[in-house]
């Protein structure tokens, strides 16, 4: 998609979207101002009439749409209320609405006119959202004879001063988010651990600074990855340890070697601790952390990241086969304590533990992991917000700053020492699950036993990684959550200190 800037308020495009801040656009005693007044004159007062009819006041989500009937250079005009948009997340959502409108309207060319310019940090999320708003995953749906062929928006023009420097790589970032969404949205019978590994290998083939190694079960067993292999035992699909290595062309020796570790459970039945059907049906999304890591790793060279980065995805299925690991089993992983299994549906932390230990064995000095880890996080923070836990403080605050800039909502949770007792075992060094209360924290405390003294931040993305029902500008399914935050974290000075 081509991005451009143009000072003209009357571009020749299929559709023009005007972003309207809160105001009284519906009062006939107060005529429209600025470019809206020009459009209203050309439309012989029809725009003002429609604004009044819809009681349009620029509130969040309010819309007025009309055909210009050849009286203006653009065919369709959409007024979109911004509300009091003050965060990157809010501007991202506005962009998604714009992209959805263009997609549904089958506009090949689109122009966007903000009546109130967004802050410099909010322009990138707005544009990224616009690029993402037309995303669909419909490759398995037959097209209706009455349904027109889809039309992709090829050109987007933003009316106003040139913001090109602030948008470096925004198209690639949107593409990476879409890649992560595609990986998550594929049926679990298609997106197996092997298929996920092949997607990683494809990324490396297209990037001279990216290498991919895939460890099969024999290699994992030789290394001692008993935790990952235990989770995989009940499945006929073989586990894979995916290892992407990014070597920067201009490395900065002062920056720490970094690992991004993503949970790659391509389907989670719960194992012998079987989930009910309603909880299992969307469990193809349990590899969303791994998908986000792959999406981010493919961007590093394009964004000029200057530290060495390792992308690690322990990938497997959790199934209740005859060889499945059992409650009461005691397992040892690549490094760290022995683990008593008290719940086979607490499998993600086991696979992650071996992934984290592998990152430490590579000499990584800081680790960020992403996982759809606990339903408790969804209960605590809702479906839109990820939980952030870890140590030291600066690493967590840097990550949260990056999330704010990316427009991805996250909230810091504490690592409460008092909950460590829940993980004590009578037969092993620890249990893999605690009591019902504080489940997000106890899961992170379990991971911390394998992180040891390495700088580490844990993102529990159980809520925002998957959208159960569509929302404006966002279809149901995988969201690609986390990709933008990781890139903002790795490319900003705050994330490099």
Domain count, the chain: 2
| Closest by CA position to 116, among listed 52, 23, 246 | 23
Q: What is the CA radius of gyration of the chain?
A: 24
The whole domain housing 88 covers 2-134
Identify whether 95 is part of a domain: yes
pLDDT attached to residue 223: 98
How far is Cα 101 from Cα 236, in angstroms, rounded to an integer?
Answer: 44
Active-site residue, 275 included: yes
Q: Identify whether 118 is part of a domain.
A: yes
108 and 238 share one domain? no
> Phi/psi class of residue 99: alpha, beta or left (left: φ > 0; alpha: ψ in -120 to 50)?
alpha
**Is residue 89, in this structure, part of any structural domain at all?**
yes
Cβ-based neighbour number of residue 141 at 10 Å: 9
Of the candidates 119, 114, 108, 124, which has an alpha carbon nearest to the alpha carbon of residue 164? 124
**Quick one: 88 and 199 in the same domain?**
no
Residues 364, 222, single domain; the answer is yes
For residues 119 and 236, membership in a common domain is answered with no
Q: Are 496 and 307 in contact (CB under 8 A)?
A: yes
Q: Using CA of residue 31, residue 34, residue 36, residue 40, what is the dihedral sign?
A: positive
What CATH number does residue 196 fall under? 3.40.630.10
In-domain check, residue 142: no
CA distances from residue 66 to 4, 15, 48, 249, 421 in whole angstroms, order as listed: 24, 10, 11, 51, 62
Of the three residues 81, 103, 134, the one that is the final residue of a domain is 134
> Where on the phi/psi map is residue 215: left (φ > 0), alpha (ψ -120 to 50), or beta?
beta
State the CATH number of the domain containing residue 78: 3.40.220.10
Which SS3 state, helix, strand or coil, does residue 71 take? coil
From first to last of the 497 residues of the chain, give the pLDDT tens digit: 789 998 888 899 999 999 999 998 988 888 899 999 999 999 999 999 999 999 999 999 999 999 999 999 999 999 999 999 999 999 999 999 999 999 999 999 999 999 998 998 999 999 999 999 999 999 998 877 666 666 789 999 999 988 888 898 999 999 999 999 999 999 999 999 999 999 999 999 999 999 999 999 999 999 999 999 999 999 999 999 999 999 999 999 999 999 999 999 999 999 999 999 999 999 999 999 999 999 999 999 999 999 999 999 999 999 999 999 999 999 999 999 999 999 999 999 999 999 999 999 999 999 999 999 999 999 999 999 999 999 999 999 999 999 999 999 999 999 999 999 999 999 999 999 999 899 999 999 999 999 999 999 999 999 999 999 999 999 999 999 999 999 999 998 444 43
| Domain-embedded: residue 155 | no
Using the 3D structure, point to which of 109, 134, 159 is the last residue of a domain. Answer: 134
Same domain, 107 and 204: no
Q: Of 349, 366, 405, 449, which is the active-site residue?
A: 349
What predicted TM-score, i.e. pTM, was given to this entire model? 0.96
Q: Which residue has the tokens 């959409």?
A: 78
Catalytic residue among 54, 59, 136, 275: 275
């Amino acid at each position: 998609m081509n991005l451009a800037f143009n000072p003209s308020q009357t571009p020749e495009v299929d559709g023009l979207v005007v972003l309207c801040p809160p105001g009284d656009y519906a009062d006939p005693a107060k005529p429209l101002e600025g470019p809206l007044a020009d459009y209203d004159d050309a439309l012989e007062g029809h725009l003002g009439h429609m604004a009044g009819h819809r009681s349009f006041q620029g509130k969040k989500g309010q819309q007025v749409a009309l055909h210009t009937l050849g009286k203006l250079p653009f065919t369709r005009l959409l007024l979109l209320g911004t509300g009091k948009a003050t965060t990157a997340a809010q501007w991202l959502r506005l962009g998604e609405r714009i992209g959805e409108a263009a997609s549904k309207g089958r506009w090949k060319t689109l122009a966007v006119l903000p009546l109130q310019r967004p802050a410099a940090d909010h322009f990138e999320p707005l544009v990224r959202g616009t690029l993402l708003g037309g995303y669909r995953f419909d490759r398995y749906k037959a097209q209706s004879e009455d349904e027109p062929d889809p039309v992709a928006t090829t050109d987007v023009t933003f009316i106003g001063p040139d913001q090109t420097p602030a948008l470096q790589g925004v198209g690639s970032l949107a593409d990476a988010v879409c890649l992560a969404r595609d990986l998550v949205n594929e049926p679990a019978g298609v997106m197996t651990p092997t298929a996920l590994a092949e997607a990683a290998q494809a990324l490396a083939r297209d990037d001279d600074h990216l290498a991919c190694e895939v460890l099969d079960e024999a290699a994992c067993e030789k290394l001692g990855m008993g935790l990952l292999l235990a989770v995989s035992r009940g499945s006929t699909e073989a586990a894979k340890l995916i290892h992407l290595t990014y070597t920067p062309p201009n490395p900065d020796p002062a920056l720490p070697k970094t690992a991004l570790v993503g949970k790659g459970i391509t389907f989670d039945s719960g194992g012998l601790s079987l989930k009910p059907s309603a909880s299992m049906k969307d469990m193809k999304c349990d590899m969303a952390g791994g998908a986000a890591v792959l999406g981010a790793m493919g961007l590093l060279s394009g964004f000029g990241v200057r530290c060495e980065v390792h992308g690690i995805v322990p990938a497997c299925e959790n199934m209740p086969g005859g060889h499945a690991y059992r409650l009461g089993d005691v397992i040892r992983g690549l490094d760290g304590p022995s683990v008593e299994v008290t719940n086979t549906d607490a499998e993600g932390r086991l696979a992650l533990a071996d992934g984290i230990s592998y990152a430490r064995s590579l000499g990584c000095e800081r680790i960020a992991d992403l996982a759809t880890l606990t339903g408790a996080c969804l209960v605590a923070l809702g479906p839109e917000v990820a939980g952030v836990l870890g140590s030291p403080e600066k690493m967590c605050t840097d990550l949260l700053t990056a999330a704010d800039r990316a427009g991805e909502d996250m909230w810091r949770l504490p690592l409460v020492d008092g909950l460590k007792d829940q993980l004590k075992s009578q037969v092993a060094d620890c249990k893999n699950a605690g009591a019902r209360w504080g489940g997000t924290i106890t899961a992170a405390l379990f991971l911390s036993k394998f992180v040891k003294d390495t700088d580490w931040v844990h993102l529990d993305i159980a809520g925002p990684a998957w959208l159960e029902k569509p929302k404006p500008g966002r279809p149901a399914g995988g969201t690609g959550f986390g990709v933008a935050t990781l890139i903002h974290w790795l490319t900003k000075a705050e994330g490099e200190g």
